[in-house]
Amino acid sequence: MRLALLGCGTVGSEVVRLLHEQAADLTARIGAPLEIAGIAVRRLGRDRGDLPVDPTLFTTDALGLIKRDDVDVVVEVVGGIEPARGWLVEALRAGKSVVTANKALLAEDGAALHDAAAEGGGDLYYEASVAGAIPLLRPLRESLHGDRINRVTGIVNGTTNFILSAMDATGAGFAEALEEATELGYAEADPTADVEGFDAAAKAAILASLAFHTRVGAADVHREGITEVSAADVASARAMGCTIKLLCIAARGADAAGRETVSVRVHPAMIPLSHPLASVGDAFNAVFVEAEAAGPLMFYGRGAGGAPTASAVLGDVVAVARNRLAGVRSASESAYADLPVRPMGEALTRYHVSLDVADRPGVLAAVAGVFARHGVSIATVRQGPAGGGAAGRGEDADLVIVTHVAPDAALAATVGELRGLEIVRAVASVLRVEGGL
């Protein structure tokens, strides 16, 4: 079984190392030796340390390598949309099997890859694209195919989970925690994809597509990052027995006419400390799946890093290699349900709203009236002197309101109207609440 490796960076170099260290076991498990036919990289002269591989295997001609007749399996760990999309479509159309960790490409144009796989008859596996080492996509696309998944809630970005965990543990602000994440090598030099939620949104699209048998792309996912989360938000969450996590939530629902829909979103949210995802700290990932017959299932582990991600890649390589030897392919993409994706405004959410208001008669009633006008029911209200402490600042009060579930658009309109009120000095923070309080 001959393998073309595209990319030899953080993940690719660990794939090479594991292939070397476990050669005998992999041969036994597959039923044939697994050999590297070539490794495509960008810089031939790059120092690759003591990587256990023949240096003549390196090439900058990825397409030439893919097209070789002696290549059976293409492993792509380069990342990005192009040229990866062109390479993988070419490989799949030619009947080769593909293993990729490229969540950005799968979320942007998974359809092109699935269609090419169907045309060429090879396998397309991508376990490493979501939650690194955690076996999650195979359970969704195989083990749970006899069940009906209603909701997937996950922490799928390690960098942001590290930052939010550090803010929670130390009281640090976002900038300070990001600096620590960068120093420790969790955050990349350009952390935009992580902190603005793009990485988690791509993973959410992949999870929703598999869970609901529907093509969901990155553009269908409502996305908010964590850059606006403040130390005060984290402290406020703590005071309520909660913590803040960047969640990806994919859920079934129904539109006004009762037709089944899905909603897919990524945003920071307060969750109670008793929630299974609250204890997921550091750079770990965890995904909570709620299925009709199976009930709740929790998947937990390392969502990033060279070796953990390479473990998932190699698992896929073994699966596709076995299939090729047996002359079979795995089930193709399952998108038969084709459910419409609901806009965020229709998603049912709860809000935690923290206001700085004038402390005089009628203010609470006026604020409550705004919620009522937008059909948003208030669950709890907490008032204290502005600035905390017994005395506070005298003329103002801090008002913290937690709502019941309502359409997100109604909650956003409520907050918009509150911002315009003379009695509301400031809307200090607005956070969604998940998992019951």
8 binds, among ligand HSE, ligand NDP, none (CB under 5 to 8 A by kind): ligand NDP
Q: Are 149 and 238 in contact (CB under 8 A)?
A: no
Contact 253, 348 (CB under 8 A): yes
Residue tagged active-site, from 67, 96, 103, 203: 203
Copy the structure tokens of residue 233: 């938000």
Rounded-to-integer distance, Cα 344 and Cα 59, Å: 45
x-marked contacts with ligand HSE along 193-212 as a string, rule CB under 6 A: -x----x-------------
Residue 25 Cβ, how far from ligand NDP at the closest point, in Å?
A: 23
Q: How far is the CB of 270 from ligand HSE (least distance, A)?
A: 21
Question: How far apart are alpha carbons 200 and 323 in whole angstroms?
Answer: 31
78 binds, among ligand HSE, ligand NDP, none (CB under 5 to 8 A by kind): ligand NDP
What mask of x and - would describe binding to ligand HSE in positions 279 to 318, judged by CB under 6 A?
Answer: ------------------------xx--------------
Q: Which residues of 242-272 are buried (b: 16+ CB within 10 A; e: fewer)?
A: bbbbbbbbbbbbeeeeeeebbbbbbbbbbbb
Query: Which residues contact ligand NDP (rule: CB under 6 A)?
Result: 7-12, 40-43, 46, 62, 77-79, 83, 101-103, 128, 132, 304-305, 309
Give CA angle at 25 (329, 324), nearest 5°: 15
Assign residue 297 a region: left if phi > 0, alpha if psi is -120 to 50, beta otherwise? Answer: beta
Q: For ligand NDP, which is the closer residue by CB, 45 or 295?
A: 45
The residue (of 132 and 407) whose beta carbon lies closer to ligand HSE is: 132
Q: Compute the distance between CA of residue 193 and CA of residue 199 in angstroms, rounded to an integer.
A: 5
Tell me which stretch binds ligand HSE (CB under 6 A): 152-160, 244-252, 314-322, 400-408.
Answer: 152-160
Question: Which of the listed partners (ligand NDP, ligand HSE, none) does 159 bind, with a CB threshold of 5 to 8 Å by partner kind?
Answer: ligand HSE
Instruction: Report in angstroms how near the CB of residue 159 gets to ligand HSE at its nearest.
Output: 3
Q: Which of residues 153-172 bind ligand HSE (CB under 6 A)?
A: 157-159
Calpha distance 92→86 (Å, rounded)? 10
Q: How far apart are CA 40 and CA 58, in angstroms?
A: 6
The whole-angstrom distance between residue 313's C-alpha and the CA centroid of its chain comes to 18
Distances (CA, A) of 426 to 238, 252, 395: 21, 35, 14
Question: Does the active-site annotation cover 245?
Answer: no
| 121-140: contacts with ligand HSE (CB under 6 A) | 132
Nearest-approach distance from CB 175 to ligand HSE, in angstroms: 18
Residue 49 beta carbon to ligand NDP: minimum distance, rounded to whole angstroms: 12
DSSP alpha helix (H) spans, 190-260: 192-195, 198-212, 231-239
Distance in Å, CB of 390 to ligand NDP, minimum: 49
Q: Between residues 14 and 233, which has the closer beta carbon with respect to ligand NDP?
A: 14
β-pair type (222-223, 260-272): parallel
Residues at the site binding ligand HSE, with contacts judged by CB under 6 A: 132, 157-159, 194, 199, 303-304
Catalytic residue numbers, as ranges:
203
